[in-house]
Amino acid sequence: MNYFIILNKCAGGGKARLLWPKIQQQLAAAGVSYKTFVTQYDGHATSLAQQLLGQLTDNQPAVIIAAGGDGTLHEALLGCKQYYSTNPSDHQVPLAFLPIGSGNDFARALNIPLHWRAALDQILNCTQAISVNVGRYVNLGTHDNGYFSNNFGIGFDATVVHDANQSPLKNSRYFGKFSYWVSVVNALRSFQGFKAHVKIPGQQERTFANTFLLTTTNLPYFGGGIKIVPTASAYENQLDVVIVEKPNLIQLFLFVSMIFLKKHLRLRFIHHYVGQQLFVSTEADRYGQIDGEELGAQTYQLKFETDQYPFWIR
Ligand SMILES: Nc1ncnc2c1ncn2[C@@H]1O[C@H](COP(=O)(O)OP(=O)(O)OP(=O)(O)O)[C@@H](O)[C@H]1O
How many Cβ atoms sit within 10 Å of the Cβ of residue 5? 22
- Distance from C-alpha of 81 to C-alpha of 20, rounded to nearest angstrom: 27
Verify that 91 and 165 share a domain, yes or no. no
Weakest-pLDDT range from 173-177, 252-256, 275-279? 173-177
**What pLDDT score was predicted for residue 60?**
84
Assess whether 120 and 147 both reside in one domain: no
pLDDT of residue 171: 66
Ligand 1, pocket-test mutation among 5, 6, 9, 39, most atoms within 8 A of CB:
39
Residue 180 predicted with pLDDT over 70: yes
Rounded to the nearest whole angstrom, what is the distance from the C-alpha of residue 14 to the centroid of ligand 1?
9
Whether residues 115 and 168 fall in one domain: no
Per-residue pLDDT tens digits for 271-292: 999 999 999 999 999 999 999 9
Residue whose C-alpha is closest to residue 120's, from 59, 171, 63, 81? 63
Range of the domain at 278: 136-307
Does residue 198 share a domain with residue 100? Answer: no
Q: Is residue 152 located within the same domain as residue 80? A: no
CATH of the domain at 82: 3.40.50.10330
Query: pLDDT tier at 173 (50, 70, 90 boundaries)?
Result: low
Q: How confident is the model at residue 183 (pLDDT cuts 50, 70, 90)?
A: confident
Average pLDDT, the chain: 94
Cβ proximity of 309 and 81 under 8 Å: yes
Q: Are 290 and 152 in contact (CB under 8 A)?
A: yes
- Please name which of 16, 39, 103, 74 lies closest in space to residue 24, comparing C-alpha atoms: 16
Q: Is the CB of 103 under 6 A from ligand 1?
A: yes
Considering the domain architecture, whether residues 60 and 80 belong to the same structural domain is answered as yes
Tell whether 84 and 184 lie within a shared domain: no
**pLDDT the model gives residue 174:** 67
User: Measured from the CB, is residue 40 less than 6 Å from ligand 1?
Assistant: yes
Q: Which atom of ligand 1 is nearest to the CA of 106?
A: 26
Whole-model pTM: value is 0.94
175 and 236 share one domain: yes
Least confident segment among 66-75, 172-181, 201-210 = 172-181
Is there an atom of ligand 1 within 6 Å of 164 CB? Answer: no
Domain CATH code at residue 234 = 2.60.200.40
Angle at 163 between CA 160 and CA 165, to 5 degrees: 105
- Phi/psi of residue 138, each to 5°? -130, 130
A 10 A CB-CB count for 21 gives 9
Measure the CA–CA gap between 241 and 239, rounded to whole angstroms: 7
314 pLDDT band, cuts 50/70/90, is confident
pLDDT in tens, 60-71: 899 999 999 999
> Which of 110, 127, 144 is a domain's end point?
127
99 lines ligand 1 (CB under 6 A): no
Q: Are residues 187 and 87 in the same domain?
A: no
Kindly state whether residues 167 and 85 are assigned to the same domain.
no
What is the model's pLDDT at position 57?
A: 81
The answer to whether residue 312 is domain-embedded is no
Per-residue pLDDT tens for 235-244? 999 999 999 9
Structural domain total, the chain: 2
Q: What is the dihedral of CA 14, 222, 151, 45, to 10 degrees?
A: 10
Q: Is the CB of 69 under 6 A from ligand 1?
A: yes
The reply to whether 167 and 280 lie within a common domain is yes
